[in-house]
Amino acid sequence: MQRTLIVAALSVLAAGSALAQETTIYGRINTSIERIKVDGVTSTEMLNNASRIGFKGGEDLGGGLKAGFQLEHGFDSTYGGADDLFWGRQSEVNLSGNFGMLRLGRFTSEAYFATADYVSLHNHDTGTSADWLYAYIARDSNKIAYRSPDLGGVTVEGAMSLKESGTDNAYDLAANYAAGPLALGAGFQKEGSANQFAVRALYEMGPFVFGGYVQREKNVYDAAGGSRTLFRLSGMYTMGASEFHANVGRSGDYGNIDNSAATQFTLAYNYNLSKRTKVYAYYTKIDAEAASFVPDLSSLALGIRHNF
């Protein structure tokens, strides 16, 4: 009888713990069929646009303290293949409270989210129409980060990627501000002699949304390349379930590399079948000079995206 009571008590405690732990499964499948031309070679292909599945959740520890986690796996929706790193998109554990949030693990640069990603309105900066010009210092692993609480519309995050995953520690700083229709952001990354700084603005005016960023980077794609300036402007007009998009970006020459400039533009149309599902079409084109770090590319695409 005593043993039965102990087992019953343990079961109740376990059930209470399970209720305190919340876990969400989420993801996106985004697939397109494209007529694509890269460096003069034309083909018709089915392409994946950063499809993923993820798990996130947390536990209320009491006293305003929470523990959380997020795991995100990228896969190729055209044939079901996995990314090289199974949880390569994100593998994070965190603690949060009134003080903000402490994050440990692997996760995307907040400097990128605060700038280039924020103005990529038509297909969430994925696939052939992604922003090919933005200079990203890709040190996402072995990160320690702190995110501030909301301070009157301002949030700030600082992160360091430990030297173990590269030749130097890498640093990532971001700030975001939102007030009504106006949203501003800034981001900075540094690893060794490579660094980048960008500022971003986005403004909503009824059915119109306008945004853009300017970036100054040094030695990101070439250790002796020098500095360059680049920008991107984007706009969206919504009419019912329809969205009309246009954006253009331009990267100048590196200081030490002649003929390394490039221009990219995209025209896109999205039709939202629901809050989770849309069909879309776009045309994107990159005109790259001979010494540019991106290819000459054009693509006419039709796609379906579903969030779950």
- pLDDT per position as a tens digit, 177-220: 999 999 999 999 999 999 999 999 999 999 999 999 999 999 99
pLDDT, one tens digit per residue, over 162-174 is: 998 678 999 999 9
Pairing of strands 208-218, 21-38: unpaired
Q: 1: Cβ–Cβ under 8 A, 6 or more apart, which residues?
A: none
Residue 282 lies in a domain: yes
3-state SS, residue 217: strand
Sign of CA dihedral 161, 186, 232, 282: positive
Residue 15 lies in a domain: no
Q: What is the domain extent for residue 180? A: 28-307
- Using the structure block, give the residue that is written with the tokens 């929706």: 77
Lowest mean pLDDT among 76-85, 157-166, 271-280, 294-303: 157-166
- pLDDT at position 167 is 81
Find the angle CA(200)-CA(202)-CA(208) to the nearest 5 degrees: 150
- The first and second tokens of residue 125, run together, are 């900066």
CATH number of the CATH domain containing 291:
2.40.160.10
Residue 23 lies in a domain: no
3-state SS, residue 111: helix
Residue 93 near residue 69 (C-beta atoms within 8 A) = yes
Residue 283 lies in a domain: yes
Residue 267 lies in a domain: yes
Q: Which helix (H) or strand (E) holds 297?
A: strand 297-307
Distance of alpha carbon 178 from alpha carbon 160, whole angstroms: 25
Residue 35 lies in a domain: yes
Q: 9: Cβ–Cβ under 8 A, 6 or more apart, which residues?
A: none
Q: Which helix (H) or strand (E) holds 210?
A: strand 208-218
Threshold 0.85, pTM exceeds: yes
Residue 288 lies in a domain: yes
How many domains would you assign to the chain? 1
Residue 157 lies in a domain: yes
DSSP 220: S
